[in-house]
Structure 1
Amino acid sequence: MEKYSACTSFLAGKLATIDGSTIIGRNEDSKSAWPKNFIVHSHSTEPKEFKSNENKFTMPLPDEAAKYTATPEWTDQYGLFEEDGINEYSVAMSATESAYTNDTVLAADPLNPDGIGEEAMVTVVLPYIKTAREGVERLGSIIEKYGTSETNGILFSDQKEVWYMETAAGHQWVAQRIPDDHYAVVSNQLSIQEIDFGDVDNFMFNSGLQQFVVENNLNPNESGFNFREIFGKNDLSDEYYNTPRVWEGQRILNPEIKQDPISHDLPFIRKASRLIKISDVQRILSSHYEGTPYNPAGSGSKADKHRFRPISLPATQESHILQLRPNKPNTTAGVHWLAMGVAAQSVYVPFFAGMSETPAIYQGTNKLEYDPNSAYWVFKLVSVLVDAHFKEFMPELQKVQSETNISLGNLLKEADAKSNELSGDNLTSYLNQIANQSSKIAIDAFRKLTSQLITKSTDMSPLFYKHNTDL
């Protein structure tokens, strides 16, 4: 198991989106075959303690835990890695965007091998918070007390605010509120730039952050406090691995702005040239530089096609978009959009966060090998088949994706209208029903496509010989 994942994240404030939703999303990237499940944890009221299976990190937890959705891995041998979810108070969290602290900073405050890491963050934070700001505060206090074993970026949102938090070194952290009318695309580097320590509405940080930097002579600038420049690496790998992904997301939402994909000066936060839709976020998280020379499956030169690391790639385990819609009760405000496997070759299925259980096909994976009864593998199998004959099969996949998106969108609209008439257990039961219907639409479509692709593949063997019937 790779210790660090290499994800791409997206955040947007409520005035930046077409319907007033707050949105956070991320591709969870680790290994090309590493199955995920999708579950709902029930509200609970019992004493408990968290003990990591990855290291010696242990901490007591509050007695009362809110209901929340999560995407744990097929095994907890290396930790839970619940990664993303929405709780019953309409607070969303996604963790983490792996990043890196420079050696000078680490010499002053080393990472703690037994501190909190990615695998534990959602589990020990999301069930115990009622706002995005509380999420930053809770995780920040844990890091200050126990330390952290990694450098990470963490996403939080509620119906009003969106926050991006970054940890650096063993005990340092900062968080910035994404302005309501702006968005951010984040890759595997520290991204927060200038910190205004007097602006408590838009910045949060550990109490000793400024003193730590001063005492250890870490700030290379004569004035200001640029978190990325003080704590980040800002090395050559950023130009080919990280900044091009930020460039791609900003290219999609701000096509009028001309930028260099390897620039170290790309802004952390931008205002889009148009209001952002869920489909825009899906396009960003599914991107492999389509329409540019850098598309690995495009018509660019061999060098250009392999120059930059794409956003969507085979190592994606799942891609999620956590949408919190305005003027709706907690039961239906949150929509957990989930694409299992490679985002570019999967489909985002919408699930109401108010459901009490997920479809069975999303729950049962407990082995690494291919399992036809696992949602992860249903979508992953299509990816494998398409990759074998990409140019021939990708148009067929795109047609199925479009048709499935329309069907899922229609069902979501119908469910929104119907849910307004229900409450209590009747509403929960209905949301469970809609989850099953949504799952069935997507799973059936991809299973049918699998059958068609397997059948067509039989004529595409390199050993194929066309027989001359006149002989």
Structure 2
Amino acid sequence: MTLRYLAAVLFLASLDGVHACTVFAVGKKATKDGSVLVSHSDDGDPHNDARLIHVPAADHPAGAQRPIFYTPESFPRYLGSAMGPDYMPSSETTGYPVYEPIGYIDQVKHTFGYQSSSYGVINEHGVAVGESTCGAVFGTCGKNSTVGCEPGRKVGEALMSIDTLSYLAMERTTSSRAAVELMGSLATKYGFYGPPDSFEGSGESLVVADPDEAWAFQILSDPTGTSAIWAAQRLPDDHMTVVANMYTIREVDASDKANFILSPNLFDVAKSKKWWKEGTPFDFTKMYSGGEYAHKYYSGRRMWRGFQMAKPSLSLPADYEDIRYKKVYPWSVQPDRKVDHHDVMSWHRDWYAGTQFDMTKGVQAGPFGSPDRFSTDSKVKGSWERSIALYRTNAVYVQKLQHPSADVPPGLASVAWYGAGPAHYAVFVPVPSGFGATVKALKLANPMKFETSSMNWATRRIMDVCQVNFKAMHETVHASQLDLEKEGDVLIERLRSSKSSAAVLQLAIQEHANKALATWEALSQQLLFSYSDNSRFAENWKAMGYSDEWLEQSGYKDGPPPAPKEDKCPPKCDDEPEPMPATVV
């Protein structure tokens, strides 16, 4: 990456970086089969790189250095040889420069293979992460960058971004606890950056999980811009939690080593700022969060909904004053019933259906009940409600993590279910932790041009088509999603029971992803045909019209009045004229 290109990327990232992501995690005693679940929706801007790319395992010589790159997340998020052959320049990345390191750290003897997106997804040992950007009180710029620096700084010194930390965790750890300890120590030593003037804030949260447990790791820069402040809390095994663009860790207990891992400076910084007095409870969110961004309820409403879906018996308020300063929602809850990966998929597809905030209702949903609220640059000031399902999601994935056993081979024990686009329009396809390749249908996702053979673009097209009549069309989409996802379950169980070889595994996963792609490409055409001209075209050509509710609110009744009655003279006259005399020949 040239310095000029780096500057341009940094500038765009500071303006357009919108990574308003939602993360769920479920402990092993709260799931139907004892697996740990963690998820992530990459709700970025249109420039983001939504490709899923495999990074192979590798051996490294003694004394080797691991290059660190700036991580813009815009396409292409990385280009070069350091992350394996599928990140090398190709016809899809023509015109983009190869990245240059911004620094180095000591390399380890062996690095593990993993699937990568904007963040690490899942490694060969079943360590997985989900990310959510958070507002924070401190922020700084990346090493060598002059964009987004805090006041008093001209050029950045911090080397670690959340993307890089997640990649390093994938490469070097076999457990979530080890991942937290590694990321925390590297951020403390080399500095953590997140531009303070970006939309989404300068802090970050990763939920890191393995087949045994899940941890929430929440981090920000320190005031010097050269280190980091962070805290990690363990999720109880029988609980679930949700993170939605705001820190969630509240009171920490430094003596509880089993459930908390904390940065060495956690208390000292707050004490030096006179925010906290020694001997009193220490609330991480109150001390270091920047609160909600975009608008009130942007984070809290999704937290409320996530807990409500998992535990309907628990009554939580949908309204509040300021969730930074006053705790409204619990750190985690015990679900009313045990859940599985399909439940978490459904949570990511939620638009508050059945609640007072149902986004398919009312005039905002348009005549056909769309839950999508697109961004606007209008001078009219206002905000849309923010649901978990979001039209600008580039990718969403649900990782199901289990230990190998006599019946479950190591490479098939843990599976990332990957959806290439908004969850309510995408189909989740399985990518086992032992799948040592890139899924072809998920590799293409150039936001600057339409690509065939791209699951991401096929999903975007489904979304656009559904705007024609969401209420009618989405029923078909959802049924197709469930069918393909059930087929994915059957495929994974078949591969497990047959103890398939690596070659058979790769072929089967590629074929299933290709089938999903072909189905999605055909589905958009089917929808356009079936509902052409707002009618059930393939059935009876009968127009579907509009709902009475929308007609009442839309001004339909105040439109042009009925046509005037043609009851005047002529032809209706009071004095009928004398009949014309007969013509005499």
Q: TM-score range by the shorter chain?
A: 0.7 to 0.9
Is 2:313 aligned against 1:261?
no
Counterpart for residue 77 of structure 1: none
More deviation, 229-238/348-357? 229-238
**Equivalent residue letter for 1:449:** L
Residue by residue over 1:189-223, the C-alpha shift from the partner in whole angstroms, topping out at 9 and shown as x without a partner, is 11101111101011001112122222221228972
Q: Which residue of the other structure, out of 358, 366, 386, is the alignment partner of 1:295?
A: 358
Is 2:67 aligned against 1:50?
yes
Is 2:362 aligned against 1:318?
no
Counterpart for residue 126 of structure 2: 90
| Distance across 2 between alignment mates of 1:381 and 1:245 | 26
| Distance across 1 between alignment mates of 2:48 and 2:289 | 29
Q: Which residue of the other structure, out of 427, 437, 442, is the alignment partner of 2:511?
A: 437
| Distance across 2 between alignment mates of 1:357 and 1:104 | 36
| Distance across 2 between alignment mates of 1:457 and 1:140 | 53
Q: Which residue of the other structure, out of 195, 198, 204, is the alignment partner of 1:152?
A: 204
Q: What is the deviation of 1:107?
A: 8.8
Q: What is the deviation of 1:129?
A: 0.9
1:33–1:317 Cα contact (<8 Å) kept: no
Q: What is the deviation of 1:307?
A: 5.2
Is 2:106 aligned against 1:26?
no
Q: TM-score, normalised by structure 1?
A: 0.87
Give 1:242-253 correspondences, 5 Å limit: 242-253=299-310
Counterpart for residue 69 of structure 1: 115
Structure 2: tracts of 5 or more residues without a match: 1-12, 73-100, 141-148, 195-202, 223-227, 372-382, 536-540, 544-585
Give 1:57-136 correspondences, 5 Å limit: 57-60=102-105, 61-71=107-117, 81=118, 83-94=119-130, 96-102=131-137, 114-136=158-180
Q: Which residue of the other structure, out of 314, 329, 338, is the alignment partner of 2:418?
A: 338
Counterpart for residue 229 of structure 1: 286
Q: Which residue of the other structure, out of 207, 218, 225, is the alignment partner of 1:166?
A: 218
Q: What is the deviation of 1:437?
A: 2.8
Q: What is the deviation of 1:113?
A: 6.5
1:84–1:320 Cα contact (<8 Å) kept: no
Q: What is the deviation of 1:391?
A: 1.8
Counterpart for residue 491 of structure 2: 411
1:335–1:353 Cα contact (<8 Å) kept: yes
Q: What is the deviation of 1:309?
A: 0.6
Counterpart for residue 194 of structure 1: 251
Q: TM-score, normalised by structure 2?
A: 0.71
Q: 1:20 to 1:104 in 2, by over 3 A?
A: closer
| Distance across 2 between alignment mates of 1:210 and 1:120 | 26
2:36–2:401 Cα contact (<8 Å) kept: yes
**Equivalent residue letter for 2:336:** S
Counterpart for residue 75 of structure 1: none
Larger radius of gyration: 2
Local SS of the residue matching 1:239: coil
| Distance across 2 between alignment mates of 1:398 and 1:50 | 43
Is 2:462 aligned against 1:382?
yes
Alignment coverage as a number of residue pairs: 446
Q: 1:68 to 1:455 in 2, by over 3 A?
A: same
Local SS of the residue matching 1:159: coil
Local SS of the residue matching 2:24: strand
Local SS of the residue matching 1:204: strand
Q: What is the deviation of 1:325?
A: 1.5
Counterpart for residue 346 of structure 2: 283
The structure in which a higher percent of residues are helix is 1
2:126–2:402 Cα contact (<8 Å) kept: no
Is 2:249 aligned against 1:203?
no
1:112–1:147 Cα contact (<8 Å) kept: no
Residue by residue over 1:324-382, the C-alpha shift from the partner in whole angstroms, topping out at 9 and shown as x without a partner, is 12343431111011011010111111121111213322224456211112111112211
Q: What is the deviation of 1:313?
A: 0.8
Counterpart for residue 10 of structure 1: 24
Residue by residue over 1:384-426, the C-alpha shift from the partner in whole angstroms, topping out at 9 and shown as x without a partner, is 111232122111112212222222222222222112xx4xxxx
Counterpart for residue 469 of structure 1: none
Q: Percent identity?
A: 21
| Distance across 2 between alignment mates of 1:416 and 1:64 | 27
Bigger RCO (CA 8 Å, 6+ sep) = 1
Structure 1: tracts of 5 or more residues without a match: 72-80, 467-471
| Distance across 2 between alignment mates of 1:444 and 1:87 | 28
More deviation, 264-273/55-64? 55-64
| Distance across 1 between alignment mates of 2:166 and 2:245 | 19
Q: 1:399 to 1:173 in 2, by over 3 A?
A: same
1:32–1:314 Cα contact (<8 Å) kept: no
Q: What is the deviation of 1:103?
A: 6.3
**Equivalent residue letter for 2:190:** Y
2:420–2:442 Cα contact (<8 Å) kept: no
Q: What is the deviation of 1:118?
A: 3.0
Q: Which residue of the other structure, out of 178, 184, 188, is the alignment partner of 1:140?
A: 184
| Distance across 2 between alignment mates of 1:112 and 1:217 | 27
**Equivalent residue letter for 2:358:** N
2:17–2:45 Cα contact (<8 Å) kept: no
Q: 1:108 to 1:364 in 2, by over 3 A?
A: closer
2:444–2:451 Cα contact (<8 Å) kept: no
